[in-house]
Amino acid sequence: METKKVYIETLGCQMNKSDAERMYGMLEYCGYTQTENPKEADMLIINTCSIRQLSEDKAYSQIGVWGKMKKSKPSLKIVFAGCVAQQGGANVLKRAPYVDLVLGTQRLYELPNLVKRIEAGERIVSIDEKPYDESEIKINRVKGVNAWIPIMEGCNNFCTYCIVPYTRGRERSRKPELIIAEAKKALADGFKEITLLGQNVDSYGKDLPEGQNLSWLLRQLNALEGKFRIRFVTNYPTDITEEVIETVIELDKVCEYFHIPMQSGDDFVLKKMNRRYDYATYKKICDNIRFKIPDVTITSDFIAGFPGETEEQFENTLKAMTELELDYSNTAAYSPREKTVAAKWVDLYISEDVKTERLARLNEHNRACCLKSNQKYVGREMEVLIENSEVRKNGDKVITGRTRNNKIVHIPCDRDLTGKFVNVEITRARTWYLNGELV
Ligand code: SF4
């Protein structure tokens, strides 16, 4: 078969990165190999994100550049995929007439069929909200250390700022047999870590037969042979069950790490966000996990400048971040997204200057929390799974990996130990990572 080249540009979250991996894997069966150079590609795919206006603008600006490339190479195929594609639909073709395929989030597995059709000259919009059956699709995972495996798609929560329920649809669990088969294949291919992905992993199994929930799935995966790690993201605070916490304690391969977005530390703002908890409830959940799981890492997400947020309410978020000793947080200024409830509260919008200033203060607190969290581990011996090795500009050879509790560790080493588990003594805490020495 003639080999063609495909380049995929991925914006946004881990779910998009996982989708990109799947696209590469499916396209291999369509005769395409991956390239890192868009100029030599026969097909260009952008995997878009609509969580913020900035990402959406970036997607359109990128395909604008590709559209110009197509003028001198008319056979070039351009695919606009992901959340912005799901929302934009046929309008994308109007706005960017050089696009060959608009691929919605729930049609990912239709890609091999659609590729054949665009190669034959069709221009297609596929954004149906009926998920495309994946059972017959073959995927060749791109080699690496950590395999991202989606277990859930969509979300039913409708937080007032969030576009995900509109772009990814309602919650759906992937069939456990597909997840387990994918995990087995990844392990056989040499992957050493499996991260189960979902907007709300705690909802796993609600649409499956009784008893098939997240804890059950973790048990099935933990029973697979070999030395490897299992992680899962993201948890909705009040959906984390005691059963899941007990499962993390009990299962040797499941890592001590929870990502639990809090979004605001103020009860009034949380209500306006349609989050189903208050600060005291969130704190209780964190305290319980920390009490039961020593050395657990808890990370979070926060939004600065939600519509109507007062200075006092924002300060409650700063206090919460510090009081809970969160190990790390993703932070962002509020960005209104069309269709969402909060986007309609134009009169309550916070000025860009104030949002920027609040975000800077939030980041300052985040840095302090992160450094404090890292300092706990200086002098400790920890198991690290090496993810890459590099030679720095100054000639230093460094390998980098993660501890079970998701701390990044840099280690001087002149051997490439990628994919190996090593024991490391932590020698120094930096803001975002640790330094260590091989033991
Ligand atoms: S739970 Fe997460 S994905 Fe779902 S609507 Fe809220 S912020 Fe969005």
Q: Are 222 and 244 in contact (CB under 8 A)?
A: no
Q: Could you tell me the pLDDT band of residue 133, with boundaries at 50, 70 and 90?
A: confident
Average pLDDT over residues 294-310: 97
pLDDT of residue 246: 97
In whole angstroms, give the CA distance from residue 91 to residue 97.
10
Domain boundary among 94, 126, 158: 126
Average pLDDT over residues 283-302: 97
Token pair, residue 99, equals 């696009």
Average pLDDT over residues 87-105: 92
Nearest to 298 by CA among 418, 405, 411: 405
Is the model's pLDDT at 204 over the cut of 90? yes
User: For position 398, which CATH number holds?
Assistant: 2.40.50
Q: Is 412 helix (H, G, I), strand (E, B) or coil?
A: strand
Length of the chain in residues, anyone? 439
In whole angstroms, give the CA distance from residue 162 to residue 385.
34
Nearest to 331 by CA among 263, 265, 391, 275: 263
Q: Considering only CA atoms, which residue is closest to atom 6 of ligand 1?
A: 159
Question: What mean pLDDT value characterizes the chain?
Answer: 93
Query: Which of 167-181, 243-257, 344-358 is the least confident region?
Result: 167-181
Residue 54 lies in a domain: yes
Residue 42 lies in a domain: yes
Residue 413 lies in a domain: yes
Nearest to 118 by CA among 80, 85, 79, 69: 79
Residue 96 lies in a domain: yes
Instruction: Tell me which of 223 and 19 has the higher pLDDT.
Output: 223
Query: Which of 31-35, 134-138, 351-355 is the least confident region?
Result: 134-138
Number of the ligand 1 atom closest to the C-alpha atom of 199: 3
Is the model's pLDDT at 1 over the cut of 60? no
In whole angstroms, give the CA distance from residue 334 to residue 332.
6
Q: Could you tell me the pLDDT band of residue 2, with boundaries at 50, 70 and 90?
A: low
Q: Ligand 1 pocket: which of 162, 200, 270 to mutate (most atoms <8 Å of CB)?
A: 162
Q: Could you tell me the pLDDT band of residue 98, with boundaries at 50, 70 and 90?
A: very high
Q: Is 241 exposed, middle or buried (0-12, 13-18, 19+ CB in 10 A)?
A: middle
Q: Could you tell me the pLDDT band of residue 142, with boundaries at 50, 70 and 90?
A: confident
Q: What is the dihedral of CA 384, 386, 392, 397, to 10 degrees?
A: 80
- The predicted-structure confidence for 316-339, as pLDDT tens digits, reads as follows 999 999 999 999 999 999 999 988
Query: Which of 9-13, 73-77, 415-419 is the least confident region?
Result: 9-13
**Structural domain boundaries enclosing 61:** 4-126
User: For position 83, which CATH number holds?
Assistant: 3.40.50.12160
Could you tell me if the CB of 159 is within 6 A of ligand 1? yes
Q: Which amino acid is at 99?
A: V
Q: Considering only CA atoms, which residue is closest to atom 8 of ligand 1?
A: 162
Residue 204 lies in a domain: no
∠ Cα 181 186 188 (to 5°): 95
Sheet holding 146-150, edge to edge: 146-150, 193-197, 229-233
Domain boundary among 96, 126, 156: 126
Number of domains in the chain: 2
pLDDT of residue 360: 98
Domain boundary among 68, 103, 126: 126
Query: Which of 15-19, 100-104, 220-224 is the least confident region?
Result: 15-19
Residue 208 lies in a domain: no
Q: How far is the CA of 205 from the centre of ligand 1 (A)?
A: 18
Residue 241 lies in a domain: no
- Give whole-number Cα distances, 236 to 167, 189, 240, 274, 286, in Å: 19, 32, 7, 13, 12
Number of the ligand 1 atom closest to the C-alpha atom of 234: 2
In whole angstroms, give the CA distance from residue 340 to residue 161.
6
Question: Hey, CA dihedral for 222, 224, 229, 234, is it positive or negative?
Answer: negative
Q: What is the dihedral of CA 197, 266, 320, 407, to 10 degrees?
A: 10
Q: How far is the CA of 301 from the centre of ligand 1 (A)?
A: 11
Average pLDDT over residues 346-356: 97
Average pLDDT over residues 230-251: 97
